[in-house]
Copies of this chain bind each other. A is one copy, B any other.
Amino acid sequence: MDVRILCLLLLLNNGLCSSFELSKEFDVKPLIRDFRDKNTYIRARNEMIFAESNMRIGHDIVLNNQEQKVNQKLMKYKQLEINESRVQNGKPFPPSVSFLTGKPLVEKSQVFQMIKLMPKGAALHLHDCSMVDLKWLVKNATYRDHCFMCTTVKHAVYFKFFGGTPPDNPDCPWKSVKTERQKARSIDEFDNMLYMNMSLITPDPVKAYPTIDVVWARFLQVLNQANGLINYTPVFTDYFYEALSEFNLDNVQYLEFRGLLPQVYELDGTTRNRDWVMKTYNDIFEKFVADHKNEFTGGKVIYSGIRVVPEIDVLNQVKEAVRFRQMYPSHFAGYDLVGQEDPGVPLISYVDALLYPSEHIPPIDLPYFFHAGETDWEGTPTDRNLIDAVLLNTSRIGHGYALTKHPQVMKVVKERGIAIEVNPISNQVLALVSDLRNHPAADLVATDFPVVISADDPSVWGARGLSYDFYMAFMALAGETTDLRLLKKLSMNSIQYSAMNPVEKGKAMNLWRQKWNAFIQQALHQLNQSGEISVFG
């Protein structure tokens, strides 16, 4: 049998075909005719299926024998889990269920368990104060001395650390967390209340968050609630170290996050400025890498303004970003604007400030990483942020949810390799799409767009690291037959499209390769132990 036919058969049976490549360009014209016999038909059909599989993210990955064995196992799980939901078998399909209630379903998945083990490269779209599991904030930060809480009339709990007696706060009087916890019926119940109060988790998300504006209001509020804990200097430094630890534990070796570089406070009420914050990030990156040699690569900060401020503030932030990039070349990447995009000021209104680096003589190189197109509202100023992002030479696009409605922007993105930072769970929880199989990134995956998968604000919806979002990408942004090659390529993409310089990328890829090989060995070992390898032996 011709190896090409064999490959087609393999592909049709289990989505496995990696030993060689057919030509990528596939001419449809000859197919379009009346078929005079079934064999010709089936051949044309297989060619078309193969041609599509050959356009997908990961089509250029060649799996070795060992990887193929792991892949077979992974695909067995994937097909099993899909079939449990598909065609009247009735189990809810996790990517179709709000993550706020569906997280336990994901955790039961064997596919998810394999993805957790897998090195996922870099997390490129995160935010400073929503990276760490809220349980850590509750179990660590709120147990520290001097921690106070207050509860508003609307039952939102805010926190602050005070050296002495807290000031009067009539609308929301400060109480010692320690005392409140002691007074509580049960410590677990009390801590769980704090956890739920700082998260979006709720038993009926449709009812609790009927519109995107409602969920965003609550989202910004819970971030604000946690900030009282996070922005206390000792917690701040520990929080960031913990963030790196959690991502490292989830087999992520590098991260880039949007940072507001907020004012951080001391017990005596004095505050630390942006320079202190940036230096702290820099030093903790260095320390963490030193503490985790041959394990963790590092990361970079993307300084971010909030898309509501006057243009003069944006100009000052841009200038500050230029300065930070000179001061911290290893750990500072560039500039972005954050906040809910629909009601926010569109990029075009900040264009004078944002053109500052390129209008300078000689031009200043300040990479941008714009959030753009995080909207369902086509044709609006928000939607046009995608156009400004690429015209302003953005290095990547945050979300780019509306991209597929913009054929010209798509052309630029593909030609220039502008990575789209896709955050599936975030887009679901923050009400852009309910069933992740309808996420437009499925089309980007189908046509090998430069896509990276990230987690946005995992803490807020009870996720941790990147694995949950990788699971959604694998199960919902790609079809039943799309295999390990997608995951491997997404993982490699995350390093390729990071803000690292070529030398840094080379080092990171070397480490990634070691981790990948170790993962394959570990997965094979598990298969061997469970005796299942014999099936494929």
Contact = CB atoms under 8 A, between A and B. Distances in A.
Contact of A405 (B82, B90, B446): B446
Contacts of A131: none
This chain's copy number in the assembly: 2
Interface in A87-112: 87-88, 90, 92, 96
A507 B41 CA distance: 38
* Chain B CB within 10 Å, residue with most, of A15, A37, A82, A446: A446
A408 to B, nearest CB: 5
B51 A408 contact: yes
Contact of A447 (B55, B407, B412, B447): B407
A87 B343 CA distance: 5
A180 to B, nearest CB: 34
Interface of A: 15, 26, 28-29, 31-38, 41-42, 44-45, 48-49, 51-52, 55, 82, 86-88, 90, 92, 96, 206, 211, 213, 342-343, 348, 351-352, 355, 358-359, 363, 376-380, 383-384, 387-388, 390-391, 393, 404-409, 411-412, 415-416, 432-435, 437-438, 440, 442-443, 446-447, 478-482
Contacts of A391: 31, 35, 41, 44-45, 48
Contacts of A384: 49
A32 B391 CA distance: 6
Q: Which 5 A-B pairs have the closest CB atoms?
A: A379-B479, A378-B479, A34-B358, A379-B480, A376-B437
15 contacts: A28-B408, A31-B390, A31-B391, A36-B359, A52-B406, A52-B409, A82-B377, A90-B211, A377-B437, A377-B479, A378-B478, A405-B479, A433-B438, A438-B438, A440-B440
Candidate in A87, A379, A409, A446 with the most chain B CB atoms within 10 angstroms: A379
Contacts of A26: 408
